[in-house]
Amino acid sequence: MEGDGKLEAQIEALLNVEKQMRQAGDVASTRKAATDILQLCFEARAWKTLNEQIVLLSKRRGQLKQALASSVNAWAIGYQCACVLRKSGNHTRVFAVQAMVQQAMQYIDQTPDLDTKIELIKTLNSVSAGKIYVEIERARLIKKLAKIKEEQQLIGEAADLMQEVAVETFGAMAKTEKIAFILEQVRLCLDHKDYVRAQILSRKINPRVFEADPSKEKKKAKEGENVVEEPAADIPSLPELKQIYYQLMIRYYSHSNDYLEICRCYKAIYEIPSVKEDPAQWIPVLRKICWYLVLSPHDSMQSSLHNSTLEDKNLSEIPHFRLLLKQLITMEVIQWTALWNTFKDEFENEKNMPGGTLGDKAAEDLKLRVIEHNILVVSKYYSRITLKRLAVLLCLDIQEAEKHLSEMVVSKALVAKIDRPMGIVCFQPPKDSNDILNSWASNLEKLLDLVEKSCHQIHKETMVHKAALKA
């Protein structure tokens, strides 16, 4: 139907009307004539003609802008146009380009085949490129094209496409839509195994934004001068975006086995009201928090999270995990075999829970955390111990015990010295000369204080006896 003479005649007539309205400076009529041309092409299913007319009409719009701003530079035009478009109370579209792009975007899902759809998206993308008043529409077009590329298993191309758009600079885009777009960028980078870019993109989102009150944000937007567009219909709510964000961060930290950060991500998901109200959701999350707490190396942050989790009343619903956390915080040596036999079924059951398995290295790391815990316990009770006795307490051979002890000393989790010829471990921290002198001075001061108190007591008793004899 694209070669139909009737369609060409109708388009030609509308082009003449559009030219007259444009020369007369009637923007509203110009916009209507342009959109009517697109509607004619769509109704005739003349997709090639539709693309051609979009390109043709977009070039004519440049003449209108030049006529409207004869003495103003190009950057000022774009900025003023954006202000007019975004600050108008009823969101009236001034330029025909914007009206055309928005109308043509409605036709994308009604294209007969994939090639036609891609061609239309690319045409609209080229038309909207560099135009500040259609930046949101261009971002949505890029997202549609990236989704098509992903369905074609071209993950790398989809990720590169999404990275072309910096939505954080779009003042008129809704906050939730910005976050959703950036999260899509992060997800594609993770799917493409590009962890460096995923981290860079994730830093564009401040986690505090998820704590904002949506009702207050709306009130501020109404009272302010800048009008923010409503997000697209498929954009999730802020709590849902928070959950998506932390799930993506869990994927990122799982790549480097950063157990403590994974635990903190699960902790943030656990605090979401919709999750905390539903036991079917928070029980698997709380299980993950407990497992990753146990897998995390011991430090001040891990200790703080450990204690706060133990105080959680919901932990009573999963008593096995309360026992696990208590064992690893109690200053007692843990027998690895007994611990593993107790929690092996729970550990293997994690793969059937939401969030998936704990990872291939998790079982090895759990054993390592138990060994580190046992070494810390031994250091609390012994100032000196033989390597042979230490190996017996850790249920390891002497070489493995020495290796784990050395690793903890290197990571500064522990202070210890090994006398290898004698086979003795000393857990007392070394003292420099100043410390030794200070301790001597302190001891002498204490000794003199005791002597003075003793003399005082002797003198007191003598005076009491003298008084008694006189009486």
First CA to last CA distance, the chain: 137
Instruction: Provide the pLDDT for residue 213.
Output: 63
**Would the pLDDT of 80 be above 60?**
no
Confidence of residue 351 (pLDDT cuts 50, 70, 90): confident
* 120-to-54, 98, 103, 197, 445 alpha-carbon distances in Å: 10, 15, 12, 30, 90
Instruction: Provide the pLDDT for residue 214.
Output: 58
Q: What mean pLDDT do residues 356-364 have? A: 79
* 454-to-351, 446, 447, 451, 461 alpha-carbon distances in Å: 70, 12, 11, 5, 11
Across the chain, mean pLDDT equals 81
pLDDT digits (tens, 9 = 90+) for 112-147: 888 888 888 888 888 888 778 888 888 888 888 889
Q: Rounded distance, CA 31 to CA 51, Å?
A: 17
> For a pLDDT cut of 70, what percent of the chain falls above it?
88
CATH classification of 382-448, choosing from 3.30.70.260, 1.10.10.10, 1.10.150.120, 2.60.40.1930?
Answer: 1.10.10.10
DSSP H or E run through 419: strand 417-419
Enter the DSSP assignment of 396: S
The residue assigned the tokens 């007591």 is 457
Residue-by-residue DSSP string for 12-51: HHHHHHHHHHHHHT-HHHHHHHHHHHHHHHHHTT-HHHHH
Residues 6+ positions from 420 with CB-CB distance below 8 Å: none
**Would the pLDDT of 312 be above 90?**
no
Residue-by-residue DSSP string for 42-84: HHTT-HHHHHHHHHHHHHHHHHHHHHH-SSS-HHHHHHHHHHH
DSSP H or E run through 466: helix 433-470
Residue 386 pairs with which residues in a beta bridge? 424
Alpha helices in 355-397 (DSSP H): 362-381, 387-394
Query: pTM above 0.85?
Result: no
Confidence of residue 250 (pLDDT cuts 50, 70, 90): very high
Domains 1-152 and 153-256 share a fold: yes
Confidence of residue 347 (pLDDT cuts 50, 70, 90): confident
Nearest to residue 68, comparing CAs of 39, 25, 110? 25
Nearest to residue 185, comparing CAs of 139, 225, 136? 139
Q: What mean pLDDT do residues 353-372 have? A: 83
Tokens of 214: 């949506």
**Would the pLDDT of 223 be above 80?**
no
8 A C-beta contact, residue 30 and residue 18 = yes
Q: Is the dihedral of CA 457, 458, 459, 464 positive or negative?
A: positive
Q: For the domain 153-256, what is the CATH code?
A: 1.25.40
Q: Rounded distance, CA 434 to CA 431, Å?
A: 8
pLDDT digits (tens, 9 = 90+) for 65-76: 443 443 334 334
**Would the pLDDT of 252 be above 90?**
yes
**Would the pLDDT of 219 be above 60?**
no
8 A C-beta contact, residue 348 and residue 340 = no
Q: For the domain 1-152, what is the CATH code?
A: 1.25.40
Instruction: Provide the pLDDT for residue 140.
Output: 87
Domain boundaries, the chain: 1-152, 153-256, 259-356, 382-448
Q: Rounded distance, CA 297 to CA 299, Å?
A: 6
**Would the pLDDT of 471 be above 70?**
yes
Q: What mean pLDDT do residues 169-179 have? A: 85
